A = this chain, B = another copy of it.
Amino acid sequence: MNGVTMQDVAERAGVHVGTASRALDPDRQYMVSAKTRERVRQAADDLGYQVNALARGLRKGFTGILGVVVPDIGNPFLAPLLRGLEQVLGARGFMTLVAETHEDPRNLRQICEHLIARRVDGVIVSAAHQSDGPFLSTVAKTMPVVLAVRKVDEPGHYTVTHDDMLGAMLATEHLIDLGHGTVAQLRGPDDVSSFSMRTEGFGKVVKQRRCRDVSSDETAVEPTIQEGRRLAERLLKRGHNRPTAIFAQNDLMAIGALEALAEAGLRCPEDMSIVGYNDAPLTRHLAPPLTSVRLPSSELGQRAGALMLAQLAGTAKEPTIELFPPELVVRASTSRATL
């Protein structure tokens, strides 16, 4: 059924390959008489012809594939982002090649090399570490790059993200407004802009409101449930200096903190308030429903996709960092401090 080439189609239709090629290309059909066109289409149908995208890509210089690099598909927060992306890109006939880094910058490099080898038309990176800027700049010499969610230290990259510092400030203010005087944050990998900005936002508010910050300096290796749990356990093991509220830098770590609490026989929010980040799809269904900072991930994906299309079309403006606003969603995992 496969192995049918355009040559085969052309022969069956009694025309030259060049003609067959034109007849089957929507953009060049007009160069072919209606009669021939029909004959070729018929022959192609009969034979079950499928163009060889490799040959076409080799000749035309583009593939219709875009690379997407994410930290970890298991993070439910990524689903809306990917959906937003594919919505915009799929409509233009692009497919996406998704790969995971698991927060290892070496993987980012290796993946990008793979993607370059496959001659994808561009790459959307939502797994960047802050120091990946120079590397991504070299990639950007080869093909369009869009950074989603996470930015890098270096300027000059097309970036679509949201205001992490503000988000963290909203979360922290919420806790302090509830009367919590001793708070801590669970930090994600520090070389990731999202987390370092959140760390900063938290610190800013805590200082400003003269609240006691008993956070550990330790950061999670990956922002996962396991790591959140590990960090929270350490916090709880301390006899003194225990917070009454925790800001987890993402929802998965918040869930890990919930596990640690339960294990320690503590209740949320009665004994400990917890706020997460991302407002991933299922957070509202958790026990307890998680207070979280919402980030418009679907819109963000759409915008990143649009920016990629603009670069491909050559209509993109100068690289900028676009910021979407965060929003605090208050649910049952946070409550007034009991004095």
Contacts and interface: CB of A to CB of B under 8 A. Distances in A.
Nearest to A63: B54
A321 interface: no
Interface in A31-79: 48, 50-55, 57-58, 63, 65, 73-74, 76, 79
A118 interface: yes
Contacts of A116: 2, 50
A51 to B, nearest CB: 5
Interface in A107-131: 113-114, 116-119
A30 to B, nearest CB: 23
A82 B76 contact: no
Interface stretch (A12-20, A185-193, A279-287): A279-287
* Top 3 closest pairs, chain A to chain B, by CB: A287-B287, A2-B142, A74-B79
14 contacts: A1-B138, A1-B142, A50-B116, A54-B58, A54-B118, A54-B119, A73-B79, A74-B83, A95-B99, A96-B97, A259-B285, A282-B282, A285-B286, A287-B287
Nearest to A289: B287
Contact of A258 (B57, B73, B80, B285): B285
Given A2-B142, A97-B97, A52 B119 contact: yes
Interface residues of A, number: 47
A117 B258 contact: no
A86 interface: yes
A255 interface: yes
Contact of A83 (B65, B73, B79, B138): B73
A98 interface: yes
Contacts of A2: 116, 141-143
Copies of this chain = 2
A55 B53 contact: no
A55 B58 contact: yes
A123 to B, nearest CB: 12
B50 A117 contact: yes
A288 interface: yes
A225 B119 CA distance: 38
Interface in A247-293: 255, 258-259, 281-282, 285-289
A301 to B, nearest CB: 12
A141 B1 CA distance: 6
A74 B79 CA distance: 5
Contacts of A259: 285
A60 to B, nearest CB: 10
